[in-house]
Amino acid sequence: MTIGVDDDESAFSRMDDSKAVEESWLRICSKLKGEVGEVEYRTWLTKIALGPIDGDEITLLLPTRFLRDWVRSQYGDRLSELWNQEISSIRRVELQVARPGDPVAPPIMLDEQVSSTAPTMAASNDTEEAPRNPPEVKSDIVASLDTRFTFDTFVVGKPNEFAYACARRVAEKPSSVGFNPLFLYGGVGLGKTHLMHAIGAELLQRGNVSVAYMSAEKFMYRFIAAIRSQSTMEFKEQLRSVDVLMIDDLQFLIGKDNTQEEFFHTFNALVDAGRQIVVSADKSPSDLSGLEDRLRTRLGCGMVADIHATTFELRISILEAKAAASGVVVPTKVLEFLAHKITSNVRELEGALNRLIAHANLFGRPVTLEATQDVLHDILKAHDRRVTIEEIQKKVAEHWNIRLTDMSSARRARAVARPRQVAMYLAKQLTSRSLPEIGRKFGNRDHTTVMHAVSRVAELMERDAAFAEDVELLRRMLES
């Protein structure tokens, strides 16, 4: 096989400079983390995104003014020092609130970290003469796994139980799993990376296997660096010497034909040698158009496990688990509120909860619903579902087979009054409309009528499981 360097190579050179800055940043992050501790670091510093460098000044971006002020007062000077140590021309750090369109902080995975003492992946020192041996591969990989991502901390529910079971299976018996590869797919923030790290942690704990985990992006960088330093043979040997190879976010390889080609060969070599492969992507193999057909075919040959969007129940379980682990008491009401409001993915749900917990710790005040709405104001606004009251009325009317006009009519027969109350209740839950606004949409009713409807429905849901199920079902239909 000949390896061309066309598209990937030029992409790489363009990235060279910004890559160096990013690597400096990762080193700074890892130092800071050591200095301030895991909790502080996660709460404040992972929110920082890199902005531009202008002369002797680098801009760092934070999502809110509160965070910016906090980071500035607590870490401003230290950040300047650390940057100056990394890049001596930088003398000042400017902290700004990010505007729409500005870069946001990527989640910091430890596999992305560059530390001067521990290269991240088996193939990281591409230019070195001496080939690496498996024990070294192993120790490098240990350093690259995020210890928070284990099977123990993964909350299992309907949407992810199959993927979880497959992941467990690989972690328990990598040599006789019976399917290869394991292909995990699902939307962003639903736990793919978490499961892969969990597999790695479990395997290493059981010992005696070498595991390699890296993002597809990193795979490409390593590969291109190997081409440049004419050490592709070593790179391949290193990859092919592991027992379990895990490649995260494979969709990154779309359009990167040479890297795909290399991955395909590595893949085949490993499978032929009876090694286990785990791959994740945001889509199923058949939907990953842009990947070579033969690669897609091979990817689909093993076990394809889909992680579905979260359900309300799973979101509650996750919040409960994370709140319990934090040691801060978060009332059920607040957990339910968050699980209703933040339905996009687990990462955002977790982010919201972490912010609440940080506030509680910082100000030593108990978490209440009011405080939650206040602290998470910006997040909640962004997640306001665009469900309209009209949609709610329509769905509810359909469900109970009444006329849409009865939502605003004056009829008070229970057969129409009850569905109308449910619609008001859902309007309160699913939209950011105020009680008077909701009242107006229901035939100009008074806000106290809406208030009454909301509490009446809540009460009935407590008492009548079948009714509660109906309402939940409607909510889910409207949410999706």
Burial class (CB in 10 A: 0-12, 13-18, 19+), 463: exposed
- Angle, in degrees to the nearest 10, between helices 161-172 and 192-206: 20
First CA to last CA across the chain, in angstroms? 47
191 binds, among Mg ion, ligand ADP, none (CB under 5 to 8 A by kind): ligand ADP
Type of residue numbered 158: K
51 binds, among ligand ADP, Mg ion, none (CB under 5 to 8 A by kind): none
* Closer residue to ligand ADP in complex, CB, 313/469: 313
Which backbone phi and psi does 394 adopt, to 5 degrees? -65, -50
* Closer residue to ligand ADP in complex, CB, 68/355: 355
* Closer residue to ligand ADP in complex, CB, 308/433: 308
Alpha carbon 298 to its chain's center: 27
Q: Which of 68, 194, 383, 445 binds ligand ADP (CB under 6 A)?
A: 194
CB of 52 to ligand ADP, least distance (A): 27
Sites for ligand ADP among residues 304-323 (CB under 6 A): 318
Give SS3 for 455.
helix
Instruction: Confirm if 425 and 432 have CB atoms less than 8 A apart.
Output: no
Burial class (CB in 10 A: 0-12, 13-18, 19+), 100: exposed
34: closest CA among 93, 153, 116? 116
Sites for ligand ADP among residues 365-404 (CB under 6 A): none
Instruction: Confirm if 419 and 429 have CB atoms less than 8 A apart.
Output: no
**Alpha-carbon span 118 to 140, nearest angstrom:** 7
* Closer residue to Mg ion in complex, CB, 186/302: 186
- Does 191 sit near ligand ADP (CB under 6 A)? yes
Sites for ligand ADP among residues 150-189 (CB under 6 A): 153-155, 160, 186, 188-189
Instruction: Confirm if 426 and 472 have CB atoms less than 8 A apart.
Output: no
Burial class (CB in 10 A: 0-12, 13-18, 19+), 149: buried
Burial class (CB in 10 A: 0-12, 13-18, 19+), 54: exposed
- Does 350 sit near ligand ADP (CB under 6 A)? yes
Q: Which of 120, 193, 231, 310 binds Mg ion (CB under 5 A)?
A: 193
- Count of residues of this chain found to bind Mg ion when the rule CB under 5 A is applied: 2
CB of 197 to ligand ADP, least distance (A): 8
**Alpha-carbon span 196 to 149, nearest angstrom:** 8
* Closer residue to ligand ADP in complex, CB, 160/180: 160
Applying CB under 5 A, the span of 19-27, 188-196, 349-357, 359-367 interacting with Mg ion comes to 188-196
Give the start-end residues of each E strand in 240-379: 244-248, 276-281, 303-307
* Closer residue to ligand ADP in complex, CB, 27/347: 347
* Closer residue to Mg ion in complex, CB, 140/249: 249
* Closer residue to ligand ADP in complex, CB, 141/346: 346
The structure tokens listed for 471 are 């309402």
Applying CB under 5 A, the span of 12-20, 153-161, 190-198, 341-349 interacting with Mg ion comes to 190-198
454 binds, among Mg ion, ligand ADP, none (CB under 5 to 8 A by kind): none
CB of 343 to Mg ion, least distance (A): 19
The structure tokens listed for 1 are 């096989």
* Cis status of the peptide bond prior to 174, with omega within 30 of 0: no
- Does 276 sit near ligand ADP (CB under 6 A)? no
- In this chain, which residue has its C-beta nearest to ligand ADP? 191
367 binds, among ligand ADP, Mg ion, none (CB under 5 to 8 A by kind): none
- In this chain, which residue has its C-beta nearest to Mg ion? 193
Q: Which residues of the shown chain bind Mg ion in the complex (CB under 5 A)?
A: 192-193
Q: Which residues of the shown chain bind ligand ADP in the complex (CB under 6 A)?
A: 149, 153-155, 160, 186, 188-194, 318, 346-347, 350
